[in-house]
Amino acid sequence: MTGAALIPLTAGAGPASAAAEPAFLHGVASGDPLPDGVLLWTRVTPVPEAVPGSGLGPAAEVGWTVARDRAFTSVVATGTATATAASDHTVKADVRGLQPATDYWFRFTAGGVTSPAGRTRTAPAENATADRLRFGVVSCANWEAGYFSSYRHLAARGDLDAWLHLGDYLYEYGTGGYAARGTVVRPHAPAHEIVTLADYRTRHGRYKTDADLQALHAAAPVVAIWDDHEFANDAWSGGAENHTEGAEGAWAARVAAAKQAYFEWMPVRASIAGTTYRRLRFGRLADLSLLDLRSFRSQQASIGSGSVDDPDRTITGRAQLDWLKAGLKTSDTTWRLIGNSVMISPVAFGALPGYLLAPLAKLLGLPAEGLAVNVDQWDGYTDDRRELLAHLRDNGIRNTVFLTGDIHMAWANDVPVKAATYPLSASAATEFVVTSVTSDNLDDILKVAPGTVSTVAEAAVKAANRHVKWLDMDSHGYGVLDITGERAQMDYYALSDRTDPNASSTWERSYRTLSGTQKVERVYSPVR
């Protein structure tokens, strides 16, 4: 594959800016690997005043090169793209014609300046029998709450096929609005809550100045979905908890701005209905269904309300749920992975014996599976969950693994068809939940020493929810998912201190699900 020769920067911003050298200040990235291609990304700053969100600066022709080696002596593809203020000077190149399951190196040039190089990797061929896949898994990275050491440790591994970001890649709050135990470790830009297109672009730009995030983007392709904070807290199809209609503009305009900035700044292919739900395949070993659980959902119910069982309420929307069910039913891979931004496993207190639960719930208007404590997750939309889990059970669909973030804690769960009677009833799937990169957990919110409250809370959750095999309410960190034909194993890693830019990383726990079991079990060492 070849493209046109590089064209110098377009003039038009005055003598000083025309003479300035362009710069690649926000790193390089790749994403959404296919067997024959990958999406490449960068952002060029053509002149100093062309900062993210400014709308300033001339157009620039940006060249890209892909090679089989880090020295770029074996070039396999080249091309050009134009960076303009209309796209905030971001560029993407959807490169095709590559070989499956192969490492490549890529870089960009503009005006005689060359970007840092990045490594990427294509997916296995569609019908290839891959022996192993290894994914980093992260969620919930609040800039003001600490440093992104999780990204640095994942980048240093050098063994990832890709890494999954399961949502809350950034946060929308103004400075101090969502800090670490009330302390701002490093301030946001802009300082105010982000609402406009310029705001979202500026915030994305600030995030991508982080050296650890740049290192991970340059080390392996990302597969990302959004959750609420890419828009506003507890977003739903018609609004958000952290949005005031009128005073902060129209919700539809804010969502459009947030989505535009997201697709400009992330190496993600816009998919069905301009959302992040899509499916990637990794040979015959696994496919990965990625969900958008914000664009189509009904407004959250109040805690304790029986309306969580209302069949007219949805977290997925009908079209997305049908798409997911169809993909799971027709899948011919060993493993069916689901990138899921909020927890699907039920978490309830006050569970009652099965023979009492249904009639009392109906009489009192309570949720049928007990008192849900987080109605922003699937617990607030139980009809969609029942339909999906029944689909897995009725069609004999096995080896389904939900990969989840959002909740700022690490969990290993069976996903029961009927939580109230589990383990006497079946498990339809398993779920691995990763904790936050930096965002506050339970003890952080209460501003107490780790373990002060969480030890009691963890025991209470497990006692009331027998499908929960493990949870950690204290740590910040990441996961590494290792998949073979026999098992899917999540190794959980914890950081020493999220507020320390040089934080160390320690293996904490490992859980796996064996092929055909639909249950998780503890493993006493990480995958080497």
Distance CA 427, CA 417 (A): 6
Q: What is the largest CA-CA distance in the chain?
A: 80
| Token couple for 273 | 């209905």
Question: For residue 360, what pLDDT is reported?
Answer: 46
Question: For residue 502, what pLDDT is reported?
Answer: 98
Question: For residue 4, what pLDDT is reported?
Answer: 30
Cβ neighbour number for residue 330 with a 10 Å cutoff:
9
Question: For residue 323, what pLDDT is reported?
Answer: 97
Distance CA 374, CA 442 (A): 14
Report helix, strand or coil for 468: strand
Please choose, from the candidates 52, 293, 45, the residue with its C-alpha nearest in 3D space to the C-alpha of residue 167. 293
Instruction: Give yes or no for a contact between 170 and 204, defined as CB atoms under 8 angstroms apart.
Output: yes
Question: For residue 421, what pLDDT is reported?
Answer: 87
Question: For residue 372, what pLDDT is reported?
Answer: 66
Q: In what order do the strands lie in the sheet with 487-495?
A: 90-95, 37-43, 28-34, 222-224, 162-165, 133-138, 477-483, 487-495, 505-514, 520-523
CA distances from residue 30 to 143, 308, 449 in whole angstroms, order as listed: 22, 39, 39
DSSP character string of 35-52: TTEEEEEEE-BSSTT--T
| Token couple for 275 | 């959302």
Instruction: Give yes or no for a contact between 41 and 62, defined as CB atoms under 8 angstroms apart.
Output: no
Question: For residue 369, what pLDDT is reported?
Answer: 67
Domains and CATH numbers, the chain: 15-121 (2.60.40.380), 133-523 (3.60.21.70)
Looking up tokens 């699937």 gives 378
The pLDDT averaged over each successive group of 10 residues in the chain (528 residues) is: 33 42 97 98 98 98 98 98 98 98 98 98 96 97 97 98 98 89 91 98 98 98 98 97 96 97 95 88 98 97 83 97 98 98 87 51 57 84 97 98 96 94 93 96 82 82 92 95 98 97 98 98 96
Question: For residue 114, what pLDDT is reported?
Answer: 98
Instruction: Give yes or no for a contact between 139 and 226, defined as CB atoms under 8 angstroms apart.
Output: no
Distance CA 374, CA 377 (A): 6
Question: For residue 82, what pLDDT is reported?
Answer: 97
Question: For residue 419, what pLDDT is reported?
Answer: 87
Cβ neighbour number for residue 519 with a 10 Å cutoff:
18
Torsion sign (Cα): 373, 374, 380, 386: negative
Residue 151 identity: Y
Instruction: Give yes or no for a contact between 190 and 204, defined as CB atoms under 8 angstroms apart.
Output: no
Residue 369 identity: E
Report helix, strand or coil for 251: helix
